[in-house]
Chain A
Amino acid sequence: MRAYYDEEELMLASVATDLAGSLAITSPREIDEGRSAEAWKQLTDTGLLGLRLRSAGEGPEGSGVAVQIIAAALGKALAPVPFLESAALVVEVLAQGAPESAAAVADGRSRWGLLLAPDLRNLAGVSDLAAGRAVGWGTAGAEYGLVLGSNREVHRAPLAAGDPVVRGDLDLTRTLLVPSVGGAPESLGFRLDDEAYDRWLALALVGLCADAQGALAGAIAVAVEWAKDRKAFGKPIGTFQALQHILADDQVSASAVETTTNYAAWAIDELPAAEALLAARTAKAYLGEVGRGVCEDVMQVFGGIGQTWEHVGHLYTRRVLLDSRLFGGRRDQLDAIATARLD
């Protein structure tokens, strides 16, 4: 057993950190479409979009842990790039029955996004789309949105080009959109059975936890640097025990988000789907318990400046709020964990 990254994983983390550093956002002023497009191009050039591709009869090229490592690095940098929603989670579905489409997404020839149910707990169904209720995630500039028909038959909805219409911008680095549907959804001729869907959902939960893991680490890191530099009453505020204890507790929580996500990420490819999903729900429930509070603490440590729009603090909070909520918040996960344990 080894509950820590191996050499290869540490190398990937180092590559991911370098890449994410060049995509980093440090203030709301830096967020614009041009920057997102540039970030997407850089991500495409690295080949990381195709992590979850399968060669015939084999497992994915990159493990769940690799997805965690990339997502965490991007989350830490607040990178405005749809790695999960337009790459990892799309390829994971397409690789099950539409390998050519998966390959096209992986090498950047074709761009997809996810369509979510209006409660943000699930992928949208075809009926959500027909009723105009589907929410687009990663659909800006995408040709297709992924949606499920009855019996989880995988469909693609063609999306029209044009300026994205924002449906929700709680997370400024990853807005949710009104999908501009350009035609009726078409079946891709395969369905996700329970096993495949559970595994996919586990990957989605892990990806979100990893993104938040990164954002929490990033938030704590800027707060610690600030606490070392900022002076009050003639000394650095980081010398005050009141503040040290807040940050120490946050470090404990952030560290535990990482370790629970490590296990869930590993489980995706290594354990039966039900166990992998339980591990992912456990990590997500824990994120829901601690994530928001850590971000609030970081904003508090920054004092007045941490309450301003210009400051980076709320960008971390926004990112973690969205990560915590998509595909079910803490309460949803606890209910599902109880079902797994009791029923």
Chain B
Amino acid sequence: MDYRDTPEEAEYRARLRAWLAEIVPSVTGGGTQRASIYRAADSRLWHRALYEAGYIGQSWPAEQGGGGLGPVYDYILNDECGAAGAPSLPSNVNYLGRSIASFGTPEQRERFLVPTMSGEIRWCQGFSEPSGGSDLAALRTVAELRGDHYVANGQKLWTSGAHLADWCFLLARTDPKAPKHKGISALLVKMDTPGIEPRAVETSDGGAHTSECFFDDVVIPADQVLGDPGDGWRIAMSALAYERGPADNGVLSVARREVDEIQAAAVERGRTDDPDVRRGIADAHVASEVLRLSALRQLTLRALDLPPGAENQVNKILWSRCLQRIGHVGLELADTDAFLHEADDSVGRYFESRHSSVYGGTVQIQRNLLARRGMHLPTD
């Protein structure tokens, strides 16, 4: 165990901290930033600034165009962004970018990686479907090969940011005769291709949006299949492993910032003498510390090249437990303000926290995986 920064990590942290002190006020205008893994897609300015300073893709392998830093640097990035009250880190760049880096042809890497990192290309993720829910491999969207191109038809749901995205990372069935998991391919699709229609879906918090996306005879050049045709499931699982990591999505920084915001609101309202308020803040502190330390362990195991074992599921479940605890505490601290619409963010934060046990694979799916793969409980 050694939670102290190495000299290299300390130097990185100091540089990052100084940079954040300068950049954060200029991108936020000094206001508070309610957490949103969706809203990250809105902030091109912030994304661009992160890219130019070298913080996007910092832990991807250098030979794939990344910064080549160890996984623990992603923890430091989260930690400092949270402390600085920075906007959320762009959420899907890390795991979709890694997939392109890992599975793409040299031409695809050349074409997509740098623009993805810089924010010039923004992605939406076309995985889930209305009919499938958690059973991702049951997806029905088809992409039929006709000569040098595919023709895609179907509907995707939870394609967050689709209305702003330039490209879609689409999972579609390219071989209807193959077994469920084998007939899926990952296709990279330009969002302005005729036949694509994104529609906004308002989420329960009322503020943030996700999307659905319709594909009607959408023509996709065959060289935009990522990896090999039929490799889609393997690629999707690799992407999901990173999508579920709290430090891979900036969730650590969100949790830390939210605890600070809840505390600041309590101080502002003069409620810090109330024992319930005090315990609520401490409770939120504990929840965010649990997530921070667990995610750091996950990154350490990744750095040591140890198999993650149950760490991915443990961390995804702790992620939703943490945000939902903070959501509850925030609502309780706001008290009547939540009902009289005078609260700053507590209602929105609460409903947004409810999403966290669904997105990226529900808590129930994580429990299944953890029980069967991590704990080796028997299947039927």
Contacts and interface: CB of A to CB of B under 8 A. Distances in A.
A224 to B, nearest CB: 6
Interface stretch (A109-117, A124-132, A242-250): A242-250
Given A239-B379, A248-B367, A4 B282 contact: no
A21 B364 CA distance: 35
Nearest to B266: A342
Interface of B (DSSP majority class) = helix
B371 A3 contact: no
A241 B377 CA distance: 10
A5 B75 CA distance: 18
Interface in B47-85: 72, 75-76
Contacts of A286: 286, 289-290
B293 interface: yes
A29 interface: no
A244 B367 contact: yes
Most buried by B among A239, A259, A267, A333: A259
Chain B residues touching A, range: 35 or more
Contacts of B278: 334-335, 338-339, 342
Interface in B322-380: 364, 366-368, 370-372, 374-380
A1 B2 contact: yes
B286 A285 contact: yes
Contact of A235 (B75, B289, B374, B380): B380
Given A251-B310, A251-B314, A282-B286, A342 B293 contact: no
A335 B279 contact: yes
A285 B6 CA distance: 29
A241 B282 CA distance: 34
A86 interface: no
A246 B72 CA distance: 31
A236 interface: yes
A181 interface: no
Contacts of B304: 4
Interface residues of A, number: 48
Interface of A (DSSP majority class) = helix
Interface in A233-291: 235-236, 238-239, 241, 243-245, 247-249, 251-252, 255-256, 259-260, 262-263, 265-267, 270, 282, 285-286, 289
Contacts of B300: 1-4
A239 B380 CA distance: 6
B279 A338 contact: yes
Interface in B266-310: 267, 272, 275, 278-279, 281-283, 285-286, 289-290, 293-294, 296-297, 299-301, 303-304, 306, 310
Contacts of A228: 376-378
A1 B281 contact: no
Given A259-B294, A259-B297, A341-B281, A1 B377 contact: no
Contacts of B286: 282, 285-286, 289, 334, 337
Closest 9 CB pairs of A and B: A244-B371, A338-B278, A337-B282, A248-B367, A334-B282, A3-B296, A238-B377, A248-B370, A3-B297
22 contacts: A1-B72, A1-B75, A2-B1, A3-B299, A238-B377, A239-B378, A243-B377, A248-B317, A248-B375, A251-B375, A255-B310, A260-B289, A262-B1, A270-B4, A282-B286, A289-B286, A331-B279, A334-B283, A338-B278, A341-B285, A342-B263, A342-B278
